[in-house]
Structure 1
């Protein structure tokens, strides 16, 4: 960078020398004018000789001026070459940065592949656990059959039941369990709430409430037979809950809640066929337990909601990277096209300057000078445009837009996004393609050197109004035109905001009462031809 500024310094020094030479030329011309005045005052006798001397002197001056102009042009060409070399070096450096960025993207993609392999491994572990679950469920079903058989035996032949032996067996069974005893679930599966401290705390609190409820109702039974049946019922309910939680996914919450309700209803039906004196107690117990079971399901489901948000965030990042790569590719193509145009202008300017050096006709000289001035102006515009492209390709500059689609989403839904393209309307046109029936209306278009931060600022202020709170790539928000106008004006007071929803195609469609299939076919053909 220091060498670049040194070259600029030398260029300015050279321009100063050129200005000095031009002043010398002007001084010579003034001297020539003075000599001309003196020649006119001389005697007519020596007029011919003086005219010859004047012609010789003019030729010498013209020759000297041409030499000075050649030197000036050489200095300008040298300065341009130095600037072009510096620009080329800068472009090479930027290309290297782009390549480094692409390498980072490749690394991230490889990490994504590795995550896929890890997911496949987890899937294998899941299949093993599912097999284990099936084995446990089979045991549970067997236990249910045995418990029903015991229940029927007690109801049909109460005098033949040895309650002391049953109590001993229950004590042995309780000792084989953990410290929670008979009130804890027999089945412990690897559920997802355990991966989160917050969810773990919520589930532990809910499990304590379940245990407390079970303990409270356990104390209401006095006979050994009723206690035995109650304990068997609790074991079955806990195992069923574990099964529901293990099979829970992001898409089947309603199904899991229905299964929980069906489970409670099934036990209510079983209870209604038993001892009538216990129906009210069991019904209250199951109704209270149903609420706690639903809470357990929703706590476990919170894990899937959070995981889905993380997936959507990863998809959003990949989509953003893909969009940025596409925009950079388009900017690179635009830069190359501008460089070709610059080369044409540069060649044309040099050609006109060569013609100017050899031209003697005043009218043609003036035309050539005007032509050169125009070419230099156009060349400078291309340079500025190219600098803007380089700035956008390697920075965060872009446009943040606020658009609506009355025919597709109504008058209270808006999309707020950003694009790095030089012509942001291209992005708006893409959004209004065949995926929606009508084109979008643009309400605001704000340029920013950090469009990403500006977009995030607006999204944060409208977070509560976001339509899709899971998929952050869906940048749609519920709002009204007036509140959005105030928001935009607060951020960018000079930004123009259009409050009218033109919705031209939508309103025209409302005015058309019927379009035949033949006419629609013709419209499709016209679109394909165009």
Structure 2
């Protein structure tokens, strides 16, 4: 029986039944571990969702508190501005002021209007203007409650109406070149109303002085916000115009490239036909003189065909990608010796674009200092513009691609970007220099009379 039992056990082992049971037990254990991991993962996901909700709430709280802090800070600054500019007192006001380190810390959390303006878009500036207007209304409401008699209330309300009208008039007439003037106008207006208040009811003069001082600060903020709004709005407008202009130029360039491609394809077809024609004329005698001439001519035509194919490939490359030439040009007679225009063209012959620019818009032709070919001319132009952003002449209209710098700096920049690019430092400015050298007009409309023509003809004959 022992032998039979051992024999049966050997058969079971040979069939792998024992291993099967062991594997099943292992699978069961792994499934239990997997189930536990899933439960742990579900718990972690739940905690993660709760944490995200908590973070979102904290962010909203921070945003709300930052806005409150910003409003309080602006109110503090308006009071501080009022006391510094409109009050002469023996009270040691310095002891009541917030320490500069605390103000700096507040500014790092919630920047002042002046710090934020340049980083804000049109929509954000509108919100900031409404927030500033709300603070003005709060001050108007706060001071309104201080007057109890009908006469004083009437004086205050009339002053509020007048001040609002004055502010709206300044905002209406605000232009890009009048920011400083508009701020001065606000100060003159508040000075005028302070004088009226001082010469009028002395019982309310002190309160009106403090009120006008606080309002003046917020009025100046309103002017700065509105000014930046106009600037940003103009920039957005110019960007749209630039996009439209670029699309127009690209359409014209594509049209020209298509015309050049058709012309190249015709030339290519002519060369191919001529080569086929010559090849058909080859005689069986390989060493004949006639065959050698035909072969030489075929090689010459194939070389010319290769040049045509290269041009064709360039045109296809210009059509399908961002390839093109970044140009650097100047116009000594029109702009001076340190003003340069940096633009981009996809023309196969970039000089055509330069000739267009100098045809009618400026009194003299442009000088070319460099053509930089690039597979991505758009990005190269953008990179150059970014590197020279501080040198821009027009800070508002970015379509005006003119920069003020020394030609040596420009050459160094071009060399660092593309060492193989040629750069010409000389400003030829031939038309400008010729115009400066004489007061006489150079014209091409001189007509010979019949007598002069006959005399000139006789001279030619005698020669």
**TM bin (shorter chain):** 0.5 to 0.7
Residue aligning to 1:275: 201
Residue aligning to 1:133: none
Residue aligning to 1:372: 298
The answer to whether structure 1 residue 200 and structure 2 residue 145 are counterparts is: no
Where 2:292 maps in the other structure, the secondary structure is: helix
> C-alpha separation between the residues in 1 aligned to 2:420 and 2:250?
28
Q: Cα deviations across residues 417-462 of structure 1 (Å, max 9, x unaligned)?
A: 1111111111111111121111112122111000001000111111
Deviation at 1:208, TM superposition (A): 2.7
> C-alpha separation between the residues in 2 aligned to 1:316 and 1:239?
38
Question: Which stretch of structure 1 is more off in the superposition, 296-305 or 390-399?
Answer: 296-305
Match of 2:156 among 231, 239, 249: 231
- Change in 2 beyond 3 A, CA 1:491/1:195: closer
The answer to whether structure 1 residue 461 and structure 2 residue 387 are counterparts is: yes
Residue aligning to 1:511: 437
Match of 1:407 among 333, 342, 349: 333
- Change in 2 beyond 3 A, CA 1:383/1:400: same
> C-alpha separation between the residues in 1 aligned to 2:307 and 2:234?
48
Residue aligning to 1:317: 243
Please list, as runs of the form range in 1=range in 2, the aligned pairs for 1:125-144 lying within 5 A after superposition.
none
Match of 1:342 among 268, 276, 285: 268
Match of 1:305 among 225, 231, 234: 231
Q: Cα deviations across residues 392-416 of structure 1 (Å, max 9, x unaligned)?
A: 1111111111111111111221100
2:327·2:342 contact (CA, 8 Å) conserved in 1?
A: yes
1:209·1:292 contact (CA, 8 Å) conserved in 2?
A: yes
TM-score, scaled to structure 1: 0.55
Match of 1:443 among 357, 369, 384: 369
> C-alpha separation between the residues in 1 aligned to 2:446 and 2:209?
68
- Change in 2 beyond 3 A, CA 1:524/1:483: farther
> C-alpha separation between the residues in 2 aligned to 1:467 and 1:441?
19
Deviation at 1:339, TM superposition (A): 1.1
Q: Cα deviations across residues 60-106 of structure 1 (Å, max 9, x unaligned)?
A: xxxxxxxxxxxxxxxxxxxxxxxxxxxxxxxxxxxxxxxxxxxxxxx
Deviation at 1:313, TM superposition (A): 0.8
> C-alpha separation between the residues in 1 aligned to 2:134 and 2:228?
16
> C-alpha separation between the residues in 2 aligned to 1:252 and 1:364?
81
Deviation at 1:499, TM superposition (A): 2.1
- Change in 2 beyond 3 A, CA 1:473/1:281: same
Deviation at 1:505, TM superposition (A): 2.1
Q: Cα deviations across residues 460-512 of structure 1 (Å, max 9, x unaligned)?
A: 11112211122221111111112111211111122222222222222222222
Match of 2:414 among 472, 488, 509: 488
Higher Rg: 1
Q: Cα deviations across residues 229-286 of structure 1 (Å, max 9, x unaligned)?
A: 4431353146426744884676796697687567546645754663366567646654
> C-alpha separation between the residues in 1 aligned to 2:277 and 2:339?
58
Higher helix share: 1
> C-alpha separation between the residues in 2 aligned to 1:314 and 1:476?
19
1:402·1:415 contact (CA, 8 Å) conserved in 2?
A: yes
Where 1:196 maps in the other structure, the secondary structure is: helix
1:241·1:293 contact (CA, 8 Å) conserved in 2?
A: no
> C-alpha separation between the residues in 2 aligned to 1:311 and 1:195?
11
1:218·1:230 contact (CA, 8 Å) conserved in 2?
A: no
Where 1:373 maps in the other structure, the secondary structure is: helix
2:144·2:153 contact (CA, 8 Å) conserved in 1?
A: no
- Change in 2 beyond 3 A, CA 1:415/1:306: same
Deviation at 1:297, TM superposition (A): 2.6
Residue aligning to 1:354: 280
How many corresponding residue pairs?
327
> C-alpha separation between the residues in 2 aligned to 1:268 and 1:508?
63
Match of 1:473 among 391, 399, 422: 399
Which 5+ residue runs of structure 2 have no aligned equivalent?
1-119, 448-463
TM-score, scaled to structure 2: 0.62
1:397·1:420 contact (CA, 8 Å) conserved in 2?
A: yes
Please list, as runs of the form range in 1=range in 2, the aligned pairs for 1:217-228 lying within 5 A after superposition.
224=149, 227-228=152-153
1:257·1:294 contact (CA, 8 Å) conserved in 2?
A: yes
1:413·1:476 contact (CA, 8 Å) conserved in 2?
A: yes
1:444·1:496 contact (CA, 8 Å) conserved in 2?
A: yes
> C-alpha separation between the residues in 2 aligned to 1:275 and 1:525?
83
Where 1:446 maps in the other structure, the secondary structure is: strand
User: What is the root-mean-square deviation in Å for CA atoms of aligned residues?
Assistant: 3.4
2:125·2:225 contact (CA, 8 Å) conserved in 1?
A: no
